[in-house]
Amino acid sequence: MNNAQLEKIIGYKFKNSEYLERALTHSSFNREKNTKHKDNERLEFLGDAFLDAIISVELFHRMSGDTEGKLTKTRALIVCEKALADAARKIDLGSYMNMGHGEESAGGRSKDSILADGAEAVIGAVFLDGGYEAARRLVLWLFEDTINEAVEGKIFLDYKSVVQEVLQSGGTPVNITYIIDREEGPAHDKTFYVHMECNGKCYGSGSGKSKKEAEQNAARQTLNTLKRGEIF
């Protein structure tokens, strides 16, 4: 598709079009085409850093009475993979991505991970081309609804999604499953006990009044364990 149309959608005209072209190039495109074009991974790295900074400043001003811990948790809701993928879909980013036929055939244009990385790369490209203020305007427009809902307490942390994102970040394929260990109590008031496995290894466990709640608690325990460095 025509990148000029994407520029109209995001409200930013690139002075150096190579930045945008690079931001839209998935690594599979270069591997398959055997080209020397640069992919978007370095821009993704840059965009990730500036996204965190822009959201942090915005929350600092909008949540002036909240603690550092509250600010951190709220930011996590906004910069997670799902929110980034939703932002990418807002501008139909998948349609503009350059990727290999194999990745495209596997549904790459709609994968949350690829869309999230692409969104960060576009933010990084806008920063390089137009500076902090241009990147800030784009981020606040892309994430306007998510920021408002997070600040108002209308969205909650999906621990299962965060765990999957963290475990996939190492680049190794992961197979995450939640297994019910047992159920206790009468039919109208059951408690479910669940543990989470990744590639056959037990990572965390949790309980809850529903299977969904138990799975979320197992994922939350896994995150806490990962943060303490007790896994890996």
Q: Domain 3-151: state its class.
A: mainly alpha
CATH 1.10.1520.10 in the chain, residues?
Answer: 3-151
* CATH number, span 159-227: 3.30.160.20
Which pTM was predicted? 0.71
Q: Does residue 183 carry a catalytic annotation?
A: no
- Residue 73 pLDDT > 90, yes or no? no
Q: What is the mean pLDDT of residues 166-172?
A: 79
39, 44, 48, 112: which one is catalytic? 48
CATH 3.30.160.20 in the chain, residues?
Answer: 159-227
Q: Is 14 left (phi over 0), alpha (psi -120 to 50) or beta?
A: beta
Condensed to tens digits (0 to 9), the pLDDT of residues 3-30 reads 999 999 999 999 999 999 999 999 998 7
CA distances from 232 to 64, 164, 206, 216, 218 (A): 37, 15, 20, 21, 18
Q: Does residue 48 carry a catalytic annotation?
A: yes
Crossing angle, helix 81-90 and helix 144-151, to 10 degrees? 140
117, 120, 129, 215: which one is catalytic? 120
